Chains A and B, each alone.
Chain A
């Protein structure tokens, strides 16, 4: 059977038979690193073209259609253009931090790849605190934005960075609380356990209202956390020109750009894992025939399908809604999302204790 986990296991066995364990481990790490970087590049290209297409169709336009078949190579051409462009460093900036910031943004996005299960038994690192790891590491993102904003020596950048700081710190609370709902119901922080617990039905279906509410809050909160419209105050084109990356150009800008899309992918895959069962096929209770048909669809397709559906929803938000104001943004978090999530987690705990979920 040609599944991702089969290929990975075969490679693993071959490496350990051929080389000494230390060398094999090093080679595996290098392969994993290259795979992650490769996935990054591909995801960046795919998501950019997807965003442009979604935007175009919602705006009754055609979208990119000149480079390659159906314009699919457009983002490749854009990358090429950004690669050959000069990466300017403004003279008044803090040069070290200015140049460091995009790499931190990138590094965070890469670190977040580790615990994500792309397919059945196909995961870089199934650590026992996977969910906690994700929420902890994703907080580092704000440091790179603050760093970029401060080091640019530009008032727009600074304001964008400050907005982003307030925003990400606030929205992490409700994102964390809505993640906790699933953790409480599952009883584990381990990603593979959470997926396994959804073998008989995804949490969004069997978790009653609290999980549904948690899902909606999670989507809103991660949209804010990744600085996507309608919460794109850190960039806020019409107010701050480009916010924290106003002064960036060339590949350094591209890294920020890429990190944004990778972050969207990661939060959506976390959402898919927690609420929509990750790579788990769609199963209905005891309908054995139906479940078996669903099992024939490879697990990686299930995972990417769910993730890209959530990405599409986030893009749909972006191309429909106006942007919030900074005080309204914080109002929404502290007066609406946070109280609701707190009540929600209480309800979820009650359900978990009583065992009312399916």
Chain B
């Protein structure tokens, strides 16, 4: 509230009148501004269709995450249990946090040649910041981001995942 002028300031009668007018004007304006705010909250109080709350665990079935949402890194396998990872370690190099560790082995091809392939692609979800750098670094599109987001587990060790399925092998034609 603008303060009352001190006695010194209100000299003549005209100023005193002005003071009374301003005093009442202040009160009117102040109350009006408060009522405007109350009208706004009153509107929302009575209009429940404006409510924006999503009841999360209940709406799990209908909840649709954005298709680019960065939830966790996964390696898609096709129906023959084959993936596209060549074990080139581009993702491991691209990762800023050491989240990905590629363990390679040497397969013996039918022709008797040695061929480099992945044994395990270890992914530490607990270290991952979902920066997407591994995905864009991968030359053969072997890994993608999944849209899962409920990652909480009781044991930290469960967050260390091996992305390739057991017994999986590389798809034909991926170099």
Contacts and interface: CB of A to CB of B under 8 A. Distances in A.
Is there direct touching of A and B in the complex, by C-beta distance under 8 Å? Answer: yes
Interface in A297-333: 316-317, 319-321, 328, 331-332
Contact of A61 (B1, B38, B41, B53): B53
B69 interface: no
Contacts of B1: 328, 331-332, 335-336
Interface string B31-46: 0001001101110110
B3 interface: yes
Nearest to A66: B55
B53 A331 contact: no
A320 B41 contact: yes
Contact of B48 (A54, A57, A316): A57
A60 interface: yes
Nearest to A61: B53
A62 interface: yes
Contacts, number: 44
Contact of A60 (B34, B51, B55): B51
A112 to B, nearest CB: 28
B41 A62 contact: no
A58 interface: yes
Interface string B15-53: 000000000000100000010011011101100101111
Given A335-B3, A335-B4, A62 B53 contact: yes
A320 B38 contact: yes
Interface in B58-90: none
A316 B38 CA distance: 7
26 contacts: A54-B45, A57-B45, A57-B48, A57-B51, A58-B42, A58-B45, A60-B44, A60-B50, A60-B52, A60-B53, A61-B51, A62-B53, A316-B38, A316-B42, A319-B41, A320-B34, A320-B37, A320-B38, A320-B40, A320-B41, A321-B37, A328-B1, A331-B1, A331-B3, A332-B1, A336-B1
